[in-house]
Amino acid sequence: MIPFLLFAFALVAVIYFLTYFNREKSGNWIQFFSKGKEAGFTIKDLEQLRRLVASCKIKDPLSIFNSQSQFETIIRSMVKTVQLSGEYNDPATQLFLSKLFDYFKKIELEASENKSRITNSRQIGEGQPLRVLVAGTGVYKSEVVKNFGNYLTISRPVNSKSAATMQWHGVKISVYFWREDDAGYVFDSEVIDEVFSKGISSLKVDHNDSLFRTQKRKSMRIKFKKAAFLYIVNDIDNPHALEKRPGLRCMLEDISDTGCAFKVHGQASTGLRLKLQFSINKIPVCMPATVRSVEYNQETNTSVLRMEADPLPIATRNHILCEVFNMLPEDDEDELPFRVLEEEADTITAAKHEQIEGFE
């Protein structure tokens, strides 16, 4: 009985669409719904999407599923429409917008990967940070100094827990690096010689024509310089709840719907449960997260922390993605999540700078 009802429903739906679009190129619309179903959209979603395609006057409906620019046009049109109509915060609107963003991210990331991926060590840029693994010894920090000819020149690897007098000539190493807006890569090599390059103690290492591509990025990230408040997460309570008091002031460096990076005075360690509160287009945003990496600058006594966000509420995630894909009005004000008098903020910040030292 159930299979019969499903077949009958599908038949009615096809007849409806063929009738409804008799003035259109029905073949294109049938393919549109077929492709949309393959992409994970429901019939209800596709009807909404069809109306957006029509309102944007896109000649070939099917083309949106492979076109970044056309899909962006559709989302931008929807965001503008629901903001003007007052439906932006409607749960059903936010759910549909989330589905559109998911698909848009998919085609954006696929296109970006094809453009940015590399295949051998000769393509690594100068200044690229590296992690050098020596079996049985440890992991060292380094970076690319020069890249040309038959070898790669990297700065002498350093590790605070290992002797600086280590002899590197002939040592077999594994090199890992994260390429910005791309993915992680690993390759094996051997140290040819110890040299000075550009006035820096360096190593010459063999090139490798076969890089192993590891973690791929899961989200689009943008530079995002904005003031924020930092708090330690209390997981007993709701970590997504907006705080009513100012926390430790910090500065966001970049943002995505899956995390962010920010700079703060003092030293910190990985694994901390923190949350940031900041403003996007005058709307407070709260992002609870876990610190995954820390870069400490001893000279300035500042740390850049990179955090992986907890799963965010749909509305919060959509609002961040609107900023990531530049779909919100220009907001030049360096706003905090709520109004704080400068004298009060400075006093609280000075008192709380000591707290970050205790995070370790």
Domain with CATH 2.30.110.10 in the chain: 121-210
Give the β-pairing of 283-297 and 248-256. unpaired
Highest CATH level, class, for 222-357: mainly beta
What are the pLDDT digits (tens) for 268-297?
888 999 999 999 988 899 999 999 888 888
For range 42-48, the mean pLDDT: 92
Domain with CATH 2.40.10.220 in the chain: 222-357
Pick among 2.30.110.10, 3.40.50.300, 3.40.50.1970, 2.60.120.680: CATH of 121-210 = 2.30.110.10
Q: Which of 187, 239, 193, 240 is nearest to 214 (CA)?
A: 187
Confidence of residue 357 (pLDDT cuts 50, 70, 90): very low
Q: Is pLDDT at 263 greater than 90 in this prediction? A: yes
Confidence of residue 360 (pLDDT cuts 50, 70, 90): very low
Q: Is pLDDT at 224 greater than 60 in this prediction? A: yes
Rounded alpha-carbon distances, angstroms, from residue 130 to 55, 119, 153, 262 = 49, 17, 12, 21
Confidence of residue 163 (pLDDT cuts 50, 70, 90): low
Q: Which of 252, 257, 304, 317 is nearest to 109 (CA)?
A: 257
> Which pLDDT belongs to residue 346?
46
Angle between helices 43-55 and 26-38 (to 10 degrees): 130
Mean per-residue pLDDT of the chain: 81
For range 7-18, the mean pLDDT: 52
Confidence of residue 11 (pLDDT cuts 50, 70, 90): very low
